[in-house]
Amino acid sequence: METPTGVTTGSVSPPITIHSRRTSALPVRETAAFSLVEVTLALGVAAFALLAMLGMLPTGLKIQQTSIQQTTANTIIAQIFSDLRADVRLPPGQASKACPDPPDPNQPCQWDQLHGHWRNAATPDTLYFTNEARQTGTLNGSPPANAVFRAKITYYSPPTPEYTTSLAHIIVSWPAQVDPATAVPAGSVKTFVAVNR
């Protein structure tokens, strides 16, 4: 029964209960991860690939070094060819002092028989060059300590006296201490040039 003031009499209201919020454990979700076996297999594959790459490294370095030496040898050949084109031609009187007349393939030219200006102007048979393609050492002498390349120039007489073209076979080999006529060098570049004088 209610009173005019709104207070209920005679009846008991249900007790007020405070619901405590219970934190219930969330269900355990499986997280994505690699197992120890998968990690071991991945490391094995990576190590195998790395070893293969390291095994190719010495071969690549050797190819690069050979390429650099061939480029330097080609530079030396270009220098020799330029010198041959710019070289003076010996007059007949001086040429007969150095080379046999008529030319004999069994008897090479002896440039040391020339005197003065013509001895200095005659192109030698063997030249030595450094790693920077600079000429070093004595002409037709033994290779100096700083020589890396050896240039061997073989001269050929013109086919007939009417022609003024001189022919030369140039071999640039390395190392300079190895003579290609007696042993096999580590590498070489060859060319045959015709110099019109």
114-145 tens-digit pLDDT: 554 444 544 457 889 999 988 888 777 889 99
Half-sphere exposure of 28 (CA within 13 A, CB side): 1
Number of domains composing the chain:
1
**Residue 117 pLDDT:** 45
- Tell me if 24 is assigned to some domain: no
- Tell me if 169 is assigned to some domain: yes
CA 33-39-42 angle, to 5 degrees, is 125
16-54 tens-digit pLDDT: 666 555 555 556 666 778 899 999 999 999 999 999 999
Laid out side by side, the sheet with 135-136 consists of: 135-136, 126-129, 149-156, 165-174, 187-196
- Tell me if 22 is assigned to some domain: no
| Strand pairing class (126-129; 135-136) | antiparallel
- Tell me if 10 is assigned to some domain: no
**Residue 17 pLDDT:** 60
Cα torsion 122, 125, 126, 130: sign: positive
- Tell me if 183 is assigned to some domain: yes
pTM above 0.75, yes or no: no
- Tell me if 15 is assigned to some domain: no
Residue type, 126: T
- Tell me if 96 is assigned to some domain: no
Which helix or strand (DSSP H or E) is residue 59 part of? helix 36-86
Q: Where in the sequence is the domain holding 151, given as residue range(s)? A: 41-87+123-196
- Tell me if 115 is assigned to some domain: no
Residue in 153, 144, 196 with CA at minimum distance from that of residue 173: 153
**Residue 28 pLDDT:** 61
Beta strand residue intervals within the chain, DSSP E: 126-129, 135-136, 149-156, 165-174, 187-196
